[in-house]
């Protein structure tokens, strides 16, 4: 066989070993398991190799190095006919080393790893049998290498290496990435898209903090404990809520809440029908809050910040809406959540509670986002550092706003001027 054939074969095999190595590392394990459950022969092989990934990667490493040794043996004979003008032995060796290194880096490292990393599942499906054969035929050398490496690790770190493979565990990232890759280019009906959205929301509930979706302090509807029952009845009628918070002196001293059904027995005062209210930190996650509410049979919680002051409240409906989206009930005054955003010519009239990222996404706006606020009212308070007045116009990062309605310390409606113009 000619040197050219040996060089080509060694480069091809080295490229396969390098590509498979990066493909196994970057592949979505959940996708692999789903495909093998569906009966794919190739992914049954990949699933088996994934469960023995340490041995597999060692086998690929050994195979790649054997190919590079073969390449190094024949590349001088292959290059010599192309370098007739280099007479000096050391100069010839230097030129051959540079050229052979460049060839290796391009054709056996960069290109295959880029290709396999960009489409790991397709490449693994195509070369599954090759990976399995490499694993089987190189197993004796792999076993010796792993045993020798574990022995060195035991000597250096004084720690016994486990001979068992780690159990295949799927993380939240694996599941999220699977649905992103599987369905981002798929045509799903409205129901299918909604089900995928629910699944993604369920995964995010483990990381979504309570502070991101509470009813803020400025929007809490409450009465002092000294208020009359008539005042309580009137507030229930005006607010259309089922629960009213009760405080002593100020909102930082919430005593509990009253349910509208408690008025059926014609109580004499508020304290006789007061229900206990539990405080939780705003750093809790949505899943933790849901488990707490379910375990203790609670429907409303008060939320405190890092300074111990009341930052807001959260209801079971707020938490469930994080999972299923907007839920309408008999107490919702707006049947359509989209009424929080209204187009008026080139202007947008929005509720102060509308989230900044929602506006930016829907209308391609460039309103500044910050960890210190998430809503339109929060943006305005953060920018002007005071309570605005009705009909006051302000400009935030090139966007002109007019305050349409302010009630006490709460911004109800804001008009974003000329944001829809071409």
Q: Provide the whole-model pTM.
A: 0.47
**What pairs with residue 347 in β-bridges?**
344
* 267-291 tens-digit pLDDT: 889 999 999 999 999 888 888 888 8
Strand order in the sheet with 399-407: 341-344, 347-351, 410-416, 399-407, 393-396
Write the CATH number of the domain with boundaries 338-416. Answer: 3.30.465.10
CB 338 within 8 A of CB 359: no
* 343-376 tens-digit pLDDT: 888 899 998 888 888 888 888 888 888 877 778 8
Q: Into which CATH architecture does domain 210-324 fall?
A: Roll (3.10)
Q: Give the best-scoring range by mean pLDDT among 144-148, 181-185, 326-330.
A: 144-148
Give CA–CA dist 420/422, Å, rounded. Answer: 7
CATH 3.30.465.10 in the chain is located at 338-416
CA proximity to 216, closest of 313, 308, 283: 313
pLDDT at 398: 87
Q: H-helix or E-strand containing 281?
A: strand 279-281
CATH 3.10.580.10 in the chain is located at 210-324
* Position 20 confidence tier, pLDDT thresholds 50, 70, 90: very high
Q: What is the mean pLDDT of residues 325-350?
A: 65
Two tokens, residue 166: 């780690």
Strands 347-351 and 341-344: antiparallel
First to last CA, the chain: 69
| Chain-centre distance for alpha carbon 225 | 43
Average pLDDT along the chain: 83
Q: What is the mean pLDDT of residues 303-313?
A: 86
* 223-264 tens-digit pLDDT: 999 999 999 999 988 888 889 999 998 888 999 999 998 898
User: Quick check: 331 pLDDT over 60?
Assistant: no
CB 389 within 8 A of CB 403: yes
Tell me, what DSSP letter sits at residue 335?
S
- Report which of residues 187 and 241 the model is more confident about: 241
Give CA–CA dist 196/191, Å, rounded. Answer: 9
């Amino acid at each position: 066989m000619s040197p050219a054939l040996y060089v080509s074969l060694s480069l091809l095999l080295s490229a396969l070993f390098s590509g498979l190595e990066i493909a196994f590392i970057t592949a979505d394990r959940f996708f692999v398991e789903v495909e093998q459950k569906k009966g794919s022969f190739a992914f049954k092989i990949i699933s088996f190799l994934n469960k023995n990934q340490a041995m597999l990667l060692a086998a690929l490493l050994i195979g790649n190095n054997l190919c590079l040794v073969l390449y190094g043996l024949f590349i001088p004979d292959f290059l010599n006919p192309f370098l007739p003008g280099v007479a000096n032995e050391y100069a010839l060796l230097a030129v051959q080393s540079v050229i052979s290194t460049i060839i290796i880096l391009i054709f056996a490292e960069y290109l295959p790893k880029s290709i396999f990393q960009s489409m790991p599942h397709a490449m693994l499906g195509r070369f599954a049998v090759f990976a399995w054969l490499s694993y089987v035929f190189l197993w004796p050398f792999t076993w010796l290498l792993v045993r020798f490496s574990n022995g060195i690790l035991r000597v250096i770190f004084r720690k016994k290496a486990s001979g068992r493979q780690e159990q295949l565990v799927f993380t939240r990232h694996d599941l999220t990435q699977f649905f992103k890759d599987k369905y981002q280019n798929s045509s799903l009906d409205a129901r299918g898209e909604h089900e995928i959205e629910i699944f993604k929301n369920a995964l995010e509930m483990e990381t979504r903090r309570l502070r991101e979706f509470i009813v803020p302090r400025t929007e809490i509807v409450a009465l002092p404990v000294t208020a009359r029952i008539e005042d309580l009845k009137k507030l229930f009628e005006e607010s259309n809520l089922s629960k009213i918070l009760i405080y002593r002196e100020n909102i930082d001293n919430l005593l509990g809440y009253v349910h509208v059904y408690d008025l059926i027995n014609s109580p004499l005062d508020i304290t006789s029908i007061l229900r206990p209210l539990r405080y939780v930190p705003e750093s809790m996650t949505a899943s933790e809050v849901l488990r707490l509410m379910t375990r203790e049979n609670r429907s409303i919680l008060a939320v405190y910040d890092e300074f111990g002051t009341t930052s807001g409240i959260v209801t079971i409906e707020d938490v469930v809406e994080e999972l299923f989206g907007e839920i309408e009930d008999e107490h919702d005054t707006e049947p359509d959540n989209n009424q929080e955003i209204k187009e008026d010519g080139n202007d947008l009239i929005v509720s102060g509670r509308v989230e900044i990222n929602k506006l930016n996404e829907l209308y391609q706006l460039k309103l500044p986002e910050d960890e210190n606020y998430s809503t339109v009212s929060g943006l305005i308070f953060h920018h002007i550092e005071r309570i605005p007045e009705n009909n006051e116009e302000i400009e935030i990062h090139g966007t002109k706003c007019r305050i349409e309605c302010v009630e006490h310390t709460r911004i109800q409606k804001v008009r974003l001027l000329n944001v829809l113009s071409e």
